[in-house]
Amino acid sequence: MRPEETKEKRETVAFVIPLYNEEEVFPMLFREIEAFRRAHPDVTEVVFIDDGSADGTAERVRALTEGRPGYVLLRFSRNFGHQLAITAGMNFVTADAAVILDGDLQDPLTVVEEMIARWREGYDVVYGVRREREGDDFLKRTTARLFYRFFQRITDIDAPLDAGDFRLVSRAVLDAYRQMEEQQPYVRGLIAWLGFNQIGVEYVRPARAAGTSKYPIRKAMQLALDGIASFSSRPLRYAVRIGVGVAMLSVVGLIWVLLAKYVFHNTIPGWTSIIFVAFFFGGLQLFFLGVVGSYLARVYDEVKARPRYVIRERWTSKAPGPGREREADSTVVRIRER
Ligand code: UDP
Ligand code: MG
């Protein structure tokens, strides 16, 4: 056998799949993964991250994957959030590439096939671009569209439009990603920031196969704000600019007030304008205090340097054969990797 052939054979792919209360959809997901793996034996590792589910997600994972090769379940000690679940999975896998996908089958495996093909052509990052979102309502579609465009304007990184976390990343990217230990990682932004050879594949995003969204509008907003705060300090600069603008305006106001008093002798108190000014500037000041505060809070989080997530259990599906029993049910509390 020629050496290139062996290399081609040895290049393996892992799946990284976060699960938060996904017991309903898991059996469908599992069936699709099994079918995919039968056609693609290069998928040697499937890592599920149970992000503190309160339902029977972990039990389902164990019951269905038990005895089959290559399944791993990392259980968080509580809900740490989607982005950290992905991060834990990416930091855990040992394969030559990892595909990050949602557990609700909104990231179709047919697209994964294409991603793997592009990666074999030499790309390091193959991200999915949502050409259409069948599954999402009008509000989610439009806010997401607006957000990706706003994000691109406000930051200096070249983040692709309409791409979520559904993507394949090569070993080189995984190793680089490992070094980024942000407390609140915005994964798609960090990967864009890393560079390498990136390419998108378009797909139509179907509706969730079962269960309900685990991303209420509040969480989605938080993700958007995290993304902006971690890649742009422009909101702080806007505060300065608006502050300067308002100060200049107040000089005009002062001139007007002085003229009214000493030239026109017309100083009947204007209640409306005073109230308006009080509300307007009160609001503006609080808003920018909040902006400054949110950056400060991020700094505070980084300084505390707590573990980003806690894995209370690592479970490995026992493939038939000796020597794997020890690994099952081992309890791992992983402190922030340094
Ligand atoms: N998820 C997670 N932790 C959370 C919220 C979501 O691990 O706190 C997972 C969820 O199980 C799913 C993926 O992240 O696999 C995407 O979530 P979801 O499909 O609910 O989001 P949507 O598609 O509605 O934006
Ligand atoms: Mg979904």
Q: Which ligand is nearest to the CA of 26?
A: 1
For the CA of 81, the closest atom of ligand 1 is 8
Report the pLDDT value the prediction gives residue 201, as an integer from 0 to 100.
94
CB 208 within 8 A of CB 25: yes
310 to each of 96, 141, 306, how far by Cα in Å? 25, 33, 10
Q: Is 171 exposed, middle or buried (0-12, 13-18, 19+ CB in 10 A)?
A: middle
More confident residue, 234 or 33: 33
Q: Whose CA is nearest to atom 16 of ligand 1?
A: 102
Residue 336 confidence class, pLDDT cut points 50, 70, 90: very low
What does the pLDDT look like over 58-116, one tens digit per residue? 999 999 999 899 999 999 999 999 999 999 999 999 999 999 999 999 999 999 999 99
Return the ∠ at Cα 54 (arms to 214 and 181), rounded to 5°.
65
Cβ of residue 317 lying under 6 Å from some atom of ligand 1:
no
Cβ of residue 76 lying under 6 Å from some atom of ligand 1:
no
What does the pLDDT look like over 120-155, one tens digit per residue? 999 999 999 988 777 778 888 888 888 888 988 888
CA distance 285 to 293: 12
Q: How far is the CA of 86 from the centre of ligand 1 (A)?
A: 10
Q: How far is the CA of 34 from the centre of ligand 2 (A)?
A: 20
- Our CA dihedral for 236, 239, 244, 248, rounded to 10 degrees, sits at 170
Cβ of residue 165 lying under 6 Å from some atom of ligand 1:
no
Q: Above 70 in pLDDT, residue 209?
A: yes
Pairing mode, if any, of strands 71-76 and 43-50? parallel
CA distance 195 to 202: 20
Buried b (16+ CB within 10 A) or exposed e, 252-276: eeeeeeeeeeeeeeeeeeeeeeeee
Residue type, 270: G
Cβ of residue 22 lying under 6 Å from some atom of ligand 1:
yes
For the CA of 213, the closest atom of ligand 1 is 20
Report the pLDDT value the prediction gives residue 323, as an integer from 0 to 100.
44
